[in-house]
Structure 1
Amino acid sequence: MKQYVAEIASMGRLRHKNLVQLLGYCRRKGELLLVYDYMPNGSLNDYLFSRNKMKDLTWSQRVNIIKGVASALLYLHEDWEQFVLHRDIKASNILLDADLNGRLGDFGLAGFHDRGVNLEATRVVGTIGYMAPELTAMGVATTKTDVYAFGSFILEVVCGRRLVDLGRPPVQIVLLNWIATCGIRDTLMDTVDSKLGDFKAEEAKLLLKLGMLCSQSKPENRPSMRHIIQYLEGNVTVPSLAFDTAEFGSNETVTQLTTTSSSVNFSFDDVTLFGSR
Structure 2
Amino acid sequence: MDTLIPTMKLGVNHKTGHHWLLVSYFTKTLFIPGAFSLEWEPVEQELIIKRRGKVCWKSGKLRNNKFEHIPEDAQGVLKYSIVSNGDEDTFSFTSTNEDPDLQWTLTEIGQISGGEGYVARADLCYGYNNTDGGCQRWQDIPKCRNPGDVFQKMTGFVNYQNVTFEGNISYSYSDCEASCWSNCDCSAFRKLYPNGTGCVFFHWSSAESYTSDSTGISFYLLVNMLTHHKSTKKWTWIGPVAATALLAMCLFTICLALKKRKFVFQEKKRQRMVMKMVHLATCSRSSAMEDIEVDLKTGSGLKLFNYTSVMVATNGFSSENKLGQGGFGPVYKGILPTGQEIAVKRLAKTSGQGIVEFKNELTLICELQHMNLVQLLGCCIDEEERILIYEYLHNKSLDFYLFDCTRGKLLDWKKRFKIIEGISQGLLYLHKYSRLKIIHRDLKASNILLDKNMNPKISDFGMARIFTQESVSNTNRIVGTHGYMSPEYMMEGVFSTKSDVYSFGVLLLEIVSGRRSLGCYGDDRPLNLIGHTWELWKDGASLELVDSSTKESFDPDEVQRCIHIGLLCVQHYADDRPTMFDIVSMLTNKSAIVSLPERPAFYVGRKIIHDQLSSKDFCTNSTVEITTSTIDMTDS
TM-score category (smaller protein): 0.7 to 0.9
Given that 2:472 and 2:495 are in contact with CA atoms closer than 8 Å, whether structure 1 keeps it comes out as no
- Report the equivalent of 1:133: 487
Residue 110 (structure 1) shift? 0.9
Q: Are 1:222 and 2:577 counterparts?
A: yes
Give the Cα separation in 2 of the matches to 1:69 and 1:267: 25
Residue 165 (structure 1) shift? 2.0
- Report the equivalent of 1:267: 630
Which AA in structure 2 matches 1:94? I
Residue 82 (structure 1) shift? 1.9
Give the counterpart of 2:411 among 52, 57, 61. 57
Residues 61 and 40 (structure 1), Cα distance of their counterparts in 2 relative to 1, 3 Å cut: same
Which AA in structure 1 matches 2:428? L
Q: Secondary structure at the match of 1:124?
A: strand
Structure 1 segment 22-61 matched on structure 2, within 5 A: 22-50=376-404, 53=407, 55-61=409-415
Q: Are 1:203 and 2:566 counterparts?
A: no
Give the Cα separation in 2 of the matches to 1:24 and 1:225: 29
Q: Secondary structure at the match of 1:89?
A: coil
Residue 251 (structure 1) shift? 5.2
Residues 133 and 254 (structure 1), Cα distance of their counterparts in 2 relative to 1, 3 Å cut: farther
Residues 179 and 16 (structure 1), Cα distance of their counterparts in 2 relative to 1, 3 Å cut: same
State TM-score, norm by structure 2: 0.39
Which AA in structure 1 matches 2:581? R
Deviations, residues 37-73 of structure 1 (Å, cap 9, x unaligned)? 1011000001111356384301010000010010000
State TM-score, norm by structure 1: 0.86
Q: Secondary structure at the match of 1:130?
A: coil
- Report the equivalent of 2:461: 107
Residue 118 (structure 1) shift? 5.5
Which AA in structure 1 matches 2:518? V
Residues 230 and 117 (structure 1), Cα distance of their counterparts in 2 relative to 1, 3 Å cut: closer
Which AA in structure 1 matches 2:501? V
Residues 167 and 223 (structure 1), Cα distance of their counterparts in 2 relative to 1, 3 Å cut: closer
Higher strand share: 2
Residue 124 (structure 1) shift? 1.1
Q: Are 1:250 and 2:602 counterparts?
A: yes
- Report the equivalent of 1:258: none
Given that 2:412 and 2:549 are in contact with CA atoms closer than 8 Å, whether structure 1 keeps it comes out as no
Give the Cα separation in 1 of the matches to 2:581 and 2:605: 27
Residues 122 and 115 (structure 1), Cα distance of their counterparts in 2 relative to 1, 3 Å cut: farther
Which ranges of structure 2 fall in alignment gaps of 5 or more residues?
A: 1-283, 289-355, 608-623
Structure 1 segment 143-222 matched on structure 2, within 5 A: 143-166=497-520, 168-171=522-525, 173-196=527-550, 197-222=552-577
Higher helix share: 1
Give the Cα separation in 2 of the matches to 1:26 and 1:51: 38
Residue 166 (structure 1) shift? 2.7
Which AA in structure 2 matches 1:248? P
Give the Cα separation in 2 of the matches to 1:122 and 1:68: 32
Give the Cα separation in 2 of the matches to 1:118 and 1:134: 11
Residues 79 and 163 (structure 1), Cα distance of their counterparts in 2 relative to 1, 3 Å cut: same
Higher relative contact order (CA 8 A, sep 6+): 1
Q: Are 1:121 and 2:484 counterparts?
A: no
- Report the equivalent of 1:77: 431
Return the index of the structure with the highest Cα Rg: 2
Q: Secondary structure at the match of 2:565?
A: helix
Percentage identity across paired residues of the two chains: 35
Q: Secondary structure at the match of 2:538?
A: helix
Residue 168 (structure 1) shift? 3.4
Quote the RMSD (CA, aligned, Å).
2.6
Give the Cα separation in 1 of the matches to 2:604 and 2:540: 27
Residues 166 and 89 (structure 1), Cα distance of their counterparts in 2 relative to 1, 3 Å cut: same
